[in-house]
Amino acid sequence: MTDSPALIDPNGPVGIGLGEAAPTIETAAAVLPSPTAPRHRGRRFGLFLASFVLGLAVALTVTGAGLAAWDSGYEARVLPGVHVGGVDLSGLDRAGAAAALRAAFPYDQGKLVLRTPSGDITVPYSAFGRHAEVDALVDEALASARGGDLATRVASELGQAIHGVTLAPRVGLDQQALGDAIRAALAPLRSSPVDATIAMTNSGSVTTAARDGTAVDPEPVIAAALAAVGSIGAPFVVVVPVTTTRVPPTVSDTNVSTASALAEQAIGPITVAFGKSTWTIKEATVRTWVGFGTAPDGSIRPTVDATKIPASLKGVAKTVLKPPRSAVFLRAKGGRIVGVAASSDGRTLDVAATSSRIAAAILGRMFGGTATPVKVATAPLPPKLTTEQAKLKAPVLTLLGTWTTWFPINDHNYFGANIWLPAQLINGTVVGPGGTFDWWNAIGDVTTSRGFGPGGVIKGNHTDPTGAMGGGMCSSSTTLFNAALRAGLQMGARGNHRYYINRYPLGLDATVWKIGSAVQDMSFTNDTAHSILILGIKTRSGGTGYVTYQIWGIPDGRTVSLSGPMVSNVIQATTNTVYVDTLPHGVRQQTEYPSNQMDVAVSRVVRDKGGRVIHSEVWRSHYVLWNGIIQVGK
């Protein structure tokens, strides 16, 4: 006989039976028949038994001894008339009854088939201990009609023998084991989805494909299977359909394809701007900044790693950098602090903010943003010593006027000493309100013992490079004159050089000299209401020297206007060649440099804070014609 399995729907009512709609998947023994009485017990035997029981009942009612004998005769055996299903257990002991029931109800034989989209999975009944509850049924059969006193028992036993008692067969199983077996069987059906991936390389983005996952819920299957195999009428094969569910990946192929296109749209050269300066970062570098990340909705989007950007901003940072200037204590010649030069903040590139701006500009191109230059962000650099900190010790002074002159360091100025030494002697000079600064009083004697040496001087119609002690110091006096001039102070003595020297402002040079009792001085008066401080500063760069004078004070609101030089009566200078015996043959040496003859006038107007004129003067300079000379050895 061919068994038709029961088809169980885990999502609907459980149907148990032969199930014509379900295909046959197993060939096994016929569905088990209900047990019947042994074949040697025929009708004749039944008539005989009825007559015997009737006669016995009459006999037993005559004597109590007979009743006792009948009851004890079935000690440890099933009384007559007890059936389980169709199995007669009359007169059988425990072992015999148990054997008869196991043979009649082989509930441990059979299998549960889980029908999945991937194929059938078989779970044998033995895997979850399906069985007939033999021991309990035997106990029940042995106890049938044995309650009460002797008379009551005899009446029950006689009734049971005449009319019979049928016990219902029962099936048992381990529900936990059934659930565990089904969960274990369905576990291989589960698979996690695989997200598509994308990564940026030097040649472009690289992707991998996504893959769906599979989910299956074992609980409805367990419930359907339990309802089916828990029935005594369950067939040899029970089929339970299993439904799986597709689990899509979070990141799809379409998502990464879109992200790749957006990234390529964003990648390109980026221009960074600061003022009029611009820097272009190449596309290849920008590509190394671009990657991919997960958006809040789980999708993949291009990202820019702003931490990689600073390495490309080093040149920008150097241009942007402006060092801070700390407050400076201004000291008199004796070291006393007389004022404070105000501090000023510096400037540095705000690397983090600039990197964020660049990253935003790159991402903005994904959605049609323009490729305009990204303006850098800057941050202030505070000084170590601020004005507020320093002014606790002295008042804040302002730079009223300053000037710097360059010169070649050579024997014409005693290798810079004749220019720098006056600046060092004057450095720290304080001139009180109404006080006058006088050059020769300030620097004192010009002697070798004080560090001066021979330098250049104009003698007659030629220049002597080392013809005067302290020669060259006019570079220093001219520089201080121009600083005081621009500070708006009241100017005093001043004289121009015999010919114009082009390192000085035209018409505003201030020579100083002493020849016997004749003196050319340079002086000015502090006509402000507060003291002024004069600083002399020495610097050099290779073979070039610099002298700087600064005049510090408390501003009173005065302003200075200087006209441009007004030049007249110009006679052009030339350069002449002269052959001499003092040089080797053919050797050329220029001993004089040409300077035009001219008259120059420069005017200055100084006004107070209300606009009233304080000073109005014109400096006039007459420069003689000075032709150049090139000497050539004969």
pLDDT tens digit sequence for 22-78: 333 332 333 333 333 333 334 444 444 445 455 555 444 544 566 566 667 788 899
pTM: 0.56
Site of tokens 């299993």: 242
Is 205 within the bounds of a domain?
no
Strands 277-281 and 270-274: antiparallel
pLDDT recorded at residue 55:
54
Residues 74 and 12 in one domain: yes
pLDDT recorded at residue 67:
57
Residues 442 and 578 in one domain: yes
Q: How many CA atoms lie within 13 A of 40 on its CB side?
A: 0
Residues 234 and 279 in one domain: no
Domain that holds residue 112: 6-192+213-239
pLDDT recorded at residue 460:
81
**By C-alpha distance, which of 274, 303, 269 is closest to 285?**
269
pLDDT recorded at residue 578:
95
> What number of other Cβ atoms are within 10 A of residue 464's Cβ?
15
Asked if the model's pLDDT at residue 229 lies above 80, the reply is yes
CB of 629 within 8 A of CB of 610? no
pLDDT recorded at residue 68:
64
Strands 532-541 and 429-431: antiparallel
Q: What is the helix (H) or strand (E) element at residue 535, kind and residue range? A: strand 532-541
Any idea which of 45-59, 133-147, 294-308 has the lowest mean pLDDT?
45-59
Residues 474, 475, 481, 485, CA torsion sign? positive
CB of 210 within 8 A of CB of 195? yes
Residues 455 and 525 in one domain: yes
pLDDT recorded at residue 158:
85
pLDDT recorded at residue 6:
45
pLDDT recorded at residue 200:
87
CB of 226 within 8 A of CB of 175? yes
Is 197 within the bounds of a domain?
no
pLDDT recorded at residue 138:
94
List for the chain the helix, strand, coil content (%; round to 5): 30, 35, 40
Spatial distance between the Cα atoms of 168 and 137, rounded to a whole number of angstroms: 9
Last residue within a domain, chosen from 389, 407, 430: 389
Is 400 within the bounds of a domain?
yes
Spatial distance between the Cα atoms of 283 and 370, rounded to a whole number of angstroms: 15
Is 375 within the bounds of a domain?
yes
Spatial distance between the Cα atoms of 53 and 47, rounded to a whole number of angstroms: 10
* Residue at 318: amino acid letter: K
Question: Band of the pLDDT at 147, cuts 50, 70, 90?
Answer: confident
Is 26 within the bounds of a domain?
yes
* Residue at 307: amino acid letter: T
Residues 613 and 548 in one domain: yes
Is 198 within the bounds of a domain?
no
Residue range 482-494, pLDDT digits in tens: 999 999 999 999 9
DSSP class of residue 413 equals G
How far is CA 9 from each of CA 177, 183, 220, 224, 234, rounded to the nearest angstrom? 21, 17, 9, 7, 15
**By C-alpha distance, which of 242, 235, 240 is closest to 224?**
240
* Residue at 99: amino acid letter: A
Spatial distance between the Cα atoms of 206 and 256, rounded to a whole number of angstroms: 10
Spatial distance between the Cα atoms of 179 and 174, rounded to a whole number of angstroms: 9
Packed helices 175-186 and 218-229: angle between N→C axes, nearest 10 degrees: 140
Residues 361 and 412 in one domain: no
CB of 92 within 8 A of CB of 101? no
Residues 230 and 104 in one domain: yes
Mean pLDDT, range 294-312, rounded to an integer: 93
Residues 317 and 173 in one domain: no
Residues 319 and 418 in one domain: no
CATH number at residue 325: 3.10.20.800
Residue range 599-609, pLDDT digits in tens: 999 999 999 99
- Total domains in the fold of the chain: 3
Residues 360, 366, 372, 373, CA torsion sign? positive
Q: Please, what is the average pLDDT of the chain?
A: 88
pLDDT recorded at residue 533:
96
Is 206 within the bounds of a domain?
no
Residues 154 and 295 in one domain: no
Last residue within a domain, chosen from 389, 411, 426: 389
pLDDT recorded at residue 374:
95
Residues 111 and 231 in one domain: yes
CB of 619 within 8 A of CB of 578? no
Any idea which of 165-169, 366-370, 463-467, 629-633 has the lowest mean pLDDT?
366-370
Last residue within a domain, chosen from 370, 389, 408: 389
Mean pLDDT, range 535-548, rounded to an integer: 97
Residues 154 and 99 in one domain: yes
Is 539 within the bounds of a domain?
yes
Residue range 555-585, pLDDT digits in tens: 999 999 999 999 999 999 999 999 999 999 9
Residue range 81-125, pLDDT digits in tens: 999 988 999 999 999 999 999 998 998 899 999 999 999 999 999
